[in-house]
Structure 1
Amino acid sequence: MEPLQDTSIQEWNKLYNRFQSLVNKLENSITKDPELVLLDNADLLQLFKISHKTAQNWRDNKVIAFSQIGNKIYYRLSDIKKLLDANYKPINKR
């Protein structure tokens, strides 16, 4: 049986690697056409730190556009940008 510390380090490394993979995917997509860049549902959940249920509600309430192929959900990077832009609240300085 592994010591708890080793298990925690391994889990942290797995999480870090998943995060780094997402960061790399997003960095590589910056130079591409946002219409062509797709994120899957897991990417959206990580990006916005939301639950599956929240993502489902956003789709049901037409908050964000999506494509579905079989059981897999995809979002265009441009649609995510539209969602952010539509909900942008600028600071009014006086």
Structure 2
Amino acid sequence: MEIISIEKKTFEEMVSKFDNLVAKAEALCFEDKKMSEWMDSQDVCVLLNISPRTLQTLRDSGRLAYSQINHKTYYLPEDVGRMLPIVEKRKIKDK
């Protein structure tokens, strides 16, 4: 077995970087868990700050994927998140 010796400062920097890596990994895991929940139409309208009619237009045009269960429409948060910059850009353009 080989022993490698490093300076204390270098070791502390490595530990700090590993701590940052762990924090980022935990944040990604939490975000993934949070993003796995479905959103209904009301949640999407509030998040995107759009009317139900605009939401229907996004669905009808195929720009926003959705699933329908028992006459209720659900959206994946990932898909809604991708629409956020597009909707914001369109609102700025319309002003």
| TM-score bucket of the superposed structures, by smaller chain | 0.5 to 0.7
Q: TM-score, normalised by structure 1?
A: 0.52
Structure 1 unaligned blocks of 5 or more: 1-28, 90-94
Equivalent residues, number: 59
Determine the structure 1 residue equivalent to 2:70: 70
Q: Is 2:45 aligned against 1:45?
A: yes
Runs of 4+ in 1 over 4 A off after TM superposition: none
Q: 1:84 to 1:33 in 2, by over 3 A?
A: same
1:29-70 Cα distance to aligned partner (Å, 9 max, x none): 735163x22111000011111111100000000111011112
More helix by percentage? 2
How many Å apart are 1:78 and its aligned residue? 1.2
Q: Which runs of 5+ in 2 are unaligned?
A: 1-29, 90-95
Identical positions, percent: 34
Q: Identify the residue that residue 59 of structure 1 maps to in structure 2.
A: 59
2:48 and 2:34 map into 1 onto residues whose CA distance is 21
Instruction: Name the TM-score, length of structure 2 as normaliser.
Output: 0.52
Larger Rg: 2
| Residue identity opposite 2:60 in structure 1 | D
